[in-house]
Structure 1
Amino acid sequence: MALWKPDPSFYPSARMAMQAPPERHAYVAALNYGRNDQPDGIRVVDLDPHSPSYGEVVNALDLPHLDDELHHFGWNACSSALCPYAPHPHLERRYLVVPGVRSSRLYIIDTKPDPRRPRIARVIEPEEVMAKSGYSRPHTVHCGPDAIYVSAMGSANGDDGPGGIFLLDHFSFDVIGPWEIERGDQELAYDFWWHLAEDTLVSSEWAKPRQFEDGLVPEDLLGQKYGHRIHFWDLRKRKLSQTIDLGAQHQMVLELRPAHDPRKTYGFAGVVISTEDLSASIWLWHRKDGEWRMEKVITIPAEPADPDDLPPALKDFSAVPPLVSDIDLSLDDRFLYVSCWGTGELHQYDVSDPFNPKLAGKVVIGGIVNKAPHPRSADPLLGGPQMVEISRDGRRVYFTNSLYSTWDDQFYPDRMGGWMVKVDVDPDGGIQLDPDFFVDFGETRVHQIRLEGGDSSTDSFCYPS
């Protein structure tokens, strides 16, 4: 009799996941919004250094519709399937759940039997998403123990209602419905993560669709109308339990990265910009005396710049802001990577003491002013470090350069193309660009990266390292 075994890419603990085989390929969201003849798609990039096609796009899956604006996407299942309170050990990490944040359409992409040749297994049309979930503009996908969780930026009526989270069935991918039971005054949405052992979900805030779809709205930014709060939820009861306001000047609280070890009840949040001085910041959440607390632990200042070198949106400020748009935490909870999309820098911080991060390394590429090239790129580069993904062993970091189509055009008005690079990591701290790895996607822009078998922003672990 055949024995059922968990997917070999599922690991009980983060430390065990760090011993997994190296990734051989990446799935990358390819964006062509506004190009009437070219849909978005998924590109497969060869990451095997022993392969003759290393560092090349080895397959392109184009989607059947135009202007989906692929953004964040995720696996259908991951190591959280081993969690004891809602175990699903016989799921497979097989399907990519790919939202179109502009179209509100969901694609289910099958990566088997040939992981280099993914195919569309199902399309969930926007009418179904909105009718069953009450939400629109699906954004971030996380594989939970009991379902697939998807955050959404808007309501089914557009700007009239709050953004939030809805669920997909693990097996059929049917839309189950909205996740929240009691949301309190939570209205804006963006990222979400959790501490499974603490029955806590954490969510952040960006904006309503009218505040991002056509670009950054300057008067809303200066009026401090973008998100600036963090929400803590009872994960089982699906009720808002606590909200912390970081201060209205801290605009756009985006990516959340909890510690991977379930014994640790802290995590990091990135703030894009301060309206006081254009700085960006990283905040630490932690629990003390039975309540969640937030503390700013990193400030990244804006850099003075000649107005002639700045796009119209920044000329009056005579400075280029860091614009922290993504953060990522290595599986051993030691290194936090911070992408400064505006200045063109990727920072590596040693967060062994999460209350006192130390800058351990930095690379410079792209940037609004510098446009720093890669060793394999002859021309100045538009864009900067944006979506960051870390290999499970923590030795390699990959990143792409596009944030969101209309924002790309505001801050990099010379018509950005797409590129992906790799950074090599010293185990004791320090990073450097791999001079031989540079993937040029031409006019197609690229965003989220997912690695074969999982990565450092995919999995949740219920067992200590």
Structure 2
Amino acid sequence: MSVTTDPTFYRSPVEAIAAPPERLAYLVVFDRSGASPDALAVVDTDPESADHGRVVGWSELPTRGDELHHFGWNACSSAFAHAGHHTDGLQRRYLLLPGLRSSNVHVYDTQPDPRQPRLVRTIGAEELAANAGYSRPHTLHCGPDGIYLSCLGGVDGDEGPGGIAVLDHDTFDVLRAWETDRGPQRLAYDAWWHLNQNTLITSEWGTPSMIEDGVVPELLLGNEYGHALHFWDLAEGRHEQRVDLGPQHQMVLELRPSHDPNATWGFAGVVISTEDLSASVWRWHREDGEWTAEKVISIPAEPAPAEELPPALQPFGAVPPLVTDINLSVDDRFLYVSCWGTGELKQYDVSDPADPRETGSVRLGGIVRRAPHPSAPEEPLAGGPQMVEVSRDGSRVYVTNSLYGSWDDQFYPDGVGAWFAKLDADQRGGLRVDEGFFPSGEEFRGRRVHQVRLQGGDASSDSYCHAR
């Protein structure tokens, strides 16, 4: 019997980079009021298509008030990680959409028509709680032996501890909690790994009560949000080491490990420092058998008149960058850093990951600047580059503009809008906004736009098992 493998499963970063470009982008969009269902939107990214840059598919959830957040594929290139794992029949076909407020996970099939995904299953909050002991699913990654779903809350939906639920690749059943010994870990956010090093890394945000109604000033100034990285034995689910970045470095969010499967370094983004409102990026790496981390990028706050600031920032007289996402190109050459507060997307050359060098920057939106898109230079934009995704070949960078409903309202109280932008990345360094690609406003039917996944995989959906 012949064995067939999904052609979008790539054994190495080199194979992924050489693969055909994406023709579609999938976006989760949500209704802040909960009056209308959240949806999975499909945008045409084919420059040769008459529908280029337009919403060409729309699938609404059967429920309301989910607040779709980070989502992902059921399977990807990590399927090659374990010898003997059967890739026959396993496909990058289903998108799993966690609801951060409802704790439901909706599963959509992108076949037979990738422009019209159809709902095939809903994993209820009750199943997640009963089988894994978690709630408030936040981030989803396809792993070598299942689907890893990081969750902010415990079974009661509140204080946790948060952690990782494991789902079956094929049936989507919630199998168990991944951790066997969590050590000092209590707060959760992202999870990623170095497959060849048998190491999983997790980061920290806060429990549901700490984040669901916006930033709590007393908790922020008291340095109560997450400020550490955790390193685990991937095979055993056992905590091995906690690396504290310092209590002033609040909200350690996105993790981006090197794509080179033989490397042992990666980057973590920190939203804000309570010392000076700066944001930062940290590099972790293994040194003498221990994991360590150091700050390699610091981005200062920008002074601003108090009357131009939202109430939460008026006492400080400045706009914090608010680094809410980072993304590393598949060739490990460029790191993209979204500064949602100032409305800037920065590009760094990280050929030397210990010494990043800024090589490009664009401005869209921002709390004070409201930098317009070049397609409409007279129209100020709200929101800013938030979730950022990079094509496999590194030539295209996509950004969405909404962070989280209550936080949108806190930092952009007059409205955050809804937009999805594309930037062209120069492989020698540099960024340019694509003037002809800007789905926005009513194209998203009153919903806010949170995250994008690219057809066939992207820079943050896959991990690889072979260097070449």
TM-score, structure 1 normalization: 0.98
8 Å CA contact 1:33, 1:68 repeated in 2: no
The aligned counterpart of 1:401 is 401
8 Å CA contact 2:325, 2:337 repeated in 1: yes
The aligned counterpart of 1:427 is 427
Name the SS for the 2:393 alignment partner. coil
The aligned counterpart of 1:61 is 59
8 Å CA contact 1:26, 1:452 repeated in 2: yes
Name the SS for the 1:251 alignment partner. strand
The aligned counterpart of 2:334 is 335
Cα distance in 1 between the residues matched to 2:316 and 2:290 = 38
* C-alpha distance after superposition, 1:224-277 (max 9, x if no partner): 100000000011111000001100000000000000001110000000000000
The aligned counterpart of 1:13 is 12
* C-alpha distance after superposition, 1:348-374 (max 9, x if no partner): 000000000000100001000000000
The aligned counterpart of 1:285 is 284
> Which residue identity lines up with residue 298 of structure 2 in the other structure?
T
> Which residue identity lines up with residue 362 of structure 2 in the other structure?
V
8 Å CA contact 2:347, 2:359 repeated in 1: yes
| Aligned ranges 1:215-226 → 2 under 5 Å | 215-226=214-225
| Aligned ranges 1:153-302 → 2 under 5 Å | 153-302=152-301
The aligned counterpart of 1:456 is 459
* C-alpha distance after superposition, 1:100-127 (max 9, x if no partner): 0100001111000010010001011111
Cα distance in 2 between the residues matched to 1:82 and 1:88 = 9
Cα distance in 1 between the residues matched to 2:421 and 2:30 = 17
* C-alpha distance after superposition, 1:267-292 (max 9, x if no partner): 00000000000000000000111100
Cα distance in 1 between the residues matched to 2:397 and 2:83 = 32
Report how far residue 441 of structure 1 moved: 3.7
> Which residue identity lines up with residue 16 of structure 1 in the other structure?
E
Cα distance in 1 between the residues matched to 2:459 and 2:85 = 21
8 Å CA contact 2:159, 2:208 repeated in 1: no
Report how far residue 84 of structure 1 moved: 3.2
> Which residue identity lines up with residue 406 of structure 1 in the other structure?
S
Cα distance in 2 between the residues matched to 1:20 and 1:12 = 12
Superposition misfits of 4+ residues, deviation over 2 angstroms: 84-88, 158-161
> Which residue identity lines up with residue 50 of structure 2 in the other structure?
P
Cα distance in 1 between the residues matched to 2:154 and 2:393 = 39
Cα distance in 1 between the residues matched to 2:295 and 2:119 = 43
| Aligned ranges 1:379-398 → 2 under 5 Å | 379-398=379-398
The aligned counterpart of 1:410 is 410
| Aligned ranges 1:44-59 → 2 under 5 Å | 44-59=42-57
Report how far residue 161 of structure 1 moved: 2.7
Given the alignment of the two structures, is residue 314 of structure 1 paired with residue 285 of structure 2, yes or no? no
Name the SS for the 1:216 alignment partner. coil
The aligned counterpart of 1:71 is 69
8 Å CA contact 1:86, 1:145 repeated in 2: no
Name the SS for the 1:332 alignment partner. coil
Name the SS for the 1:438 alignment partner. coil
Cα distance in 2 between the residues matched to 1:230 and 1:67 = 31
Cα distance in 1 between the residues matched to 2:80 and 2:349 = 29
Cα distance in 2 between the residues matched to 1:263 and 1:133 = 32
Cα distance in 2 between the residues matched to 1:28 and 1:405 = 16
* C-alpha distance after superposition, 1:409-432 (max 9, x if no partner): 000001222100000011111111
> Which residue identity lines up with residue 77 of structure 2 in the other structure?
S
Cα distance in 1 between the residues matched to 2:204 and 2:117 = 32
Cα distance in 2 between the residues matched to 1:323 and 1:190 = 16
Report how far residue 86 of structure 1 moved: 5.9
Given the alignment of the two structures, is residue 89 of structure 1 paired with residue 87 of structure 2, yes or no? yes
* C-alpha distance after superposition, 1:151-191 (max 9, x if no partner): 00000112343000010001110000100000011000000
Cα distance in 2 between the residues matched to 1:398 and 1:228 = 28
8 Å CA contact 1:33, 1:66 repeated in 2: no
Name the SS for the 2:462 alignment partner. coil
8 Å CA contact 2:32, 2:448 repeated in 1: no
Count matched residues. Answer: 463
8 Å CA contact 1:95, 1:108 repeated in 2: yes
Cα distance in 1 between the residues matched to 2:357 and 2:174 = 43
* C-alpha distance after superposition, 1:316-355 (max 9, x if no partner): 0000000000000000000000000000000000000000
8 Å CA contact 1:163, 1:189 repeated in 2: yes
The aligned counterpart of 2:437 is 437
Cα distance in 2 between the residues matched to 1:225 and 1:86 = 44
**Change in 2 beyond 3 A, CA 1:35/1:400:** same
Name the SS for the 2:18 alignment partner. coil
Given the alignment of the two structures, is residue 352 of structure 1 paired with residue 351 of structure 2, yes or no? yes
**Change in 2 beyond 3 A, CA 1:372/1:135:** same
Name the SS for the 1:316 alignment partner. coil
8 Å CA contact 1:99, 1:105 repeated in 2: yes
Cα distance in 1 between the residues matched to 2:268 and 2:104 = 28
**Change in 2 beyond 3 A, CA 1:219/1:47:** same
Name the SS for the 2:209 alignment partner. helix
Report how far residue 379 of structure 1 moved: 1.5
Cα distance in 1 between the residues matched to 2:165 and 2:83 = 20
1:446 to 433, 449, 453: 449
8 Å CA contact 2:27, 2:452 repeated in 1: yes
> Which residue identity lines up with residue 135 of structure 1 in the other structure?
Y
Q: Percent identity?
A: 61
- Structure 2 unaligned residues grouped into runs of 5+: none
Which shows bigger deviation, 182-191 or 79-88?
79-88
Cα distance in 1 between the residues matched to 2:268 and 2:85 = 29
Cα distance in 1 between the residues matched to 2:139 and 2:126 = 19
